[in-house]
Amino acid sequence: GESVGLHLPTLSVQEGDNSIINCAYSNSASDYFIWYKQESGKGPQFIIDIRSNMDKRQGQRVTVLLNKTVKHLSLQIAATQPGDSAVYFCAENMSGTSYGKLTFGQGTILTVHP
Amino acid sequence: EAQVTQNPRYLITVTGKKLTVTCSQNMNHEYMSWYRQDPGLGLRQIYYSMNVEVTDKGDVPEGYKVSRKEKRNFPLILESPSPNQTSLYFCASSLRYKVENTIYFGEGSWLTVV
């Protein structure tokens, strides 16, 4: 079946740099995407979401970009801090409706060096 | 404080010995779900419940049972655990079964079956 995947399993950055985490999806019917952050020993936490009728959405220090042409999703973190070190993964709703379960990607490990 | 609470957090058990992982949420959420997280496979849904007395299978339900007798509780039951059920388990809840409702995850339960 179709699934969400990640381009890079690990990403190391210096504190203060901007981070970009990528996610590829293969189901053109997916219309809703979420980014989660999972810190060591904790459950995933919602970061930001985006619907397929948008190309970009901004939150606090985070921006999600959606490129439907190439089925690509990215999470940009500005001025990355050590507290941003975590596993980040995307999830997609493949149902095309509001009542669909999410399919989760495997995750990218982000390490921020002071 | 809004939270999803799982117990136990860590458990080592032997093959065939029945065990229950409890999950409780204090947000009056209708939707609850169980996931397992394994290296390289991401989060996979085991069972979910859209409301009291309404449960359904997720992607990997074999070897598990659930019940939803009360709105706040959603225990995961392993009747006869096997080593391939060694995993990190997450309980989650959201207001309703709609993808745009934020999913709140518990802290996780590490289960080892020997």
The string of pLDDT tens digits covering residues A33-91 is 999 999 988 899 999 999 999 999 999 999 999 999 999 999 999 999 999 999 999 99
The yes-or-no verdict on residue A109 having pLDDT over 50 is: yes
Query: With an 8 Å Cβ cutoff, is A101 touching chain B?
Result: yes
Which chain A residues are within 8 Å of B42, Cβ to Cβ?
A: 4, 89, 104-107
The yes-or-no verdict on residue A2 having pLDDT over 70 is: no
Q: What is the pLDDT of residue A96?
A: 59
pLDDT band at B101 (very low <50, low <70, confident <90, very high): confident
Among the ranges given (A35-44, A91-100, B61-70), the one the predictor scored with the smallest mean pLDDT: A91-100
Which pairs count as long-range contacts for B52-58, CB under 8 Å and 24+ apart, including other chains?
B58/A101, B58/B33, B58/B34
The yes-or-no verdict on residue A26 having pLDDT over 80 is: no
d(CA B6, CA B90): 8
User: Would you call A101 and B4 a contact, using CB atoms and an 8 Å cutoff?
Assistant: no
CA distance A2 to chain B (A): 13
Which chain A residues are within 8 Å of B103, Cβ to Cβ?
A: 44, 46, 102
Could you say which of A46, A98, A100 has the minimum Cβ distance to residue B103?
A46
The yes-or-no verdict on residue A28 having pLDDT over 50 is: yes
Dihedral of alpha carbons B17, B77, A100, B96, sign: negative
Report whether A14 contacts A28 (CB < 8 A): no
Which chain B residues are within 8 Å of A101, Cβ to Cβ?
A: 45, 48, 58, 99
Query: With an 8 Å Cβ cutoff, is A104 touching chain B?
Result: yes
HSE on the CB side for B90, CA within 13 Å?
A: 22
Among the ranges given (A2-11, A22-31, A103-112, B11-20), the one the predictor scored with the smallest mean pLDDT: A2-11
Strand residue runs (E) in chain A: 10-14, 19-24, 32-38, 45-51, 56-58, 62-67, 72-77, 86-93, 102-104, 108-113
Q: Which chain B residue has its CA at the smallest distance from A48's CA?
A: B102
pLDDT band at A99 (very low <50, low <70, confident <90, very high): low
Report whether A86 contacts A106 (CB < 8 A): no
Tokens for B10, please give them: 């860590």
Query: With an 8 Å Cβ cutoff, is A19 touching chain B?
Result: no
Query: With an 8 Å Cβ cutoff, is A105 touching chain B?
Result: yes
Q: Which chain B residue has its CA at the smallest distance from A94's CA?
A: B99
Q: What is the pLDDT of residue A30?
A: 87
Q: What is the pLDDT of residue A7?
A: 43
**How wide is the angle at C-alpha A98 spanned by C-alphas A95 and A104, nearest 5°?**
55
CA distance B70 to chain A (A): 22
Q: What is the pLDDT of residue A8?
A: 46
Report whether B36 contacts B48 (CB < 8 A): no
